Amino acid sequence: MKKKLIAGNWKMNGSSASNEALLQALLAGSANWQCQVAVCVPAPYLAQVQRLVAGSGIELGAQDVSQHGAGAFTGEVSADMLKDFGTRYCLVGHSERRQYHGETDAVVVAKAQRALAAGITPVVCVGETLAEREAGRTEEVVKRQLAAAIHTIGHCISEIVVAYEPVWAIGTGKTASPEEAQQVHAVLRAQLRAATEHADRVHILYGGSMNAANAAQLLAQADIDGGLVGGASLKAIDFLSIIAAAH
Ligand code: 13P
């Protein structure tokens, strides 16, 4: 059975000093981890975090990548640049990127392809808004978002990580119940199975107010293969508790 994956998404938080303190505390608690662990950090800190986690059980992730390869795209960071710093994972299509930066399914998938081409595992984020859930459109929305990736990536779809993050549960303290989350994860798994014989290898992470108190129940669900953790990944004690719940 594959190991679970717990990934922290630091979002736009951190400083050289606080990153170092957080990582030292995580590394001090890393002796008996049963799962894979990653931290997705702001781009300016890739070099710092690469140095601090070298040779440890923590892998490096980025939060976004350009859909372009190189050139006149001021402010953008390319997949090759991320790779240059040892980046193993890259979030694409986080709901905050879709919402505040107008990223469409096509842009998200182009980013995923850039990551794959550079040897980075894209973590393709999907999830419905509250209005979409209330309108009974959850399945339709997440299936459309994943279908875009399957359509473009083809049989290499088993090389990605999927993160289901209901938008209404992000940073709100509202979590999808384990059953609600599992229901959507099962839909995503079935969709992957229709696209690849390796669907069971794909990690499908849950994200949205995952914390020390609710992680174990969420992670016990059949198709929840890990977590994408925002706020609780910024506190070593909370993130360590979530990691401990993943076995
Ligand atoms: P919170 O855990 O803070 O709700 O954030 C979830 C998230 O967006 C992770 O990518």
The ranges assigned to domains in the chain are 5-28+35-245
Q: Is 165 a catalytic residue?
A: yes
Which ligand 1 atom is at minimum distance from the Cα of 11? 10
Q: At what angle do helices 46-53 and 16-28 cross, to 10 degrees?
A: 20
Distance 72 CA to ligand 1 centre (A): 32
Confidence (pTM) = 0.98
Helices (H), the chain: 16-28, 46-53, 79-84, 95-100, 105-117, 130-134, 138-153, 178-195, 215-219, 236-244
Q: Are 90 and 65 in contact (CB under 8 A)?
A: yes
Residue 1: pLDDT band with limits 50, 70, 90: confident
With H, G, I as helix, E, B as strand and everything else as coil, classify residue 167: helix
Q: What is the pLDDT of residue 190?
A: 98
Residue 155: pLDDT band with limits 50, 70, 90: confident
Distance 156 CA to ligand 1 centre (A): 27
Residue 58: pLDDT band with limits 50, 70, 90: very high
Pick the CATH number of 5-28+35-245 from 3.40.50.1100, 3.20.20.70, 3.40.50.150, 3.40.50.360: 3.20.20.70
Residue bearing tokens 């372009």: 68
Catalytic pick from 94, 128, 132, 203? Answer: 94
What average pLDDT score do residues 155-165 get? Answer: 96
Dihedral, 54, 11, 7, 153 alpha carbons, nearest 10 = -100
How far is the first Cα of the chain from the last one, in angstroms, to the nearest whole number? Answer: 11
- DSSP conformational letter for 168: G
Quote the mean pLDDT of the chain: 97
Q: Is 165 in the pocket of ligand 1 (CB under 6 A)?
A: yes
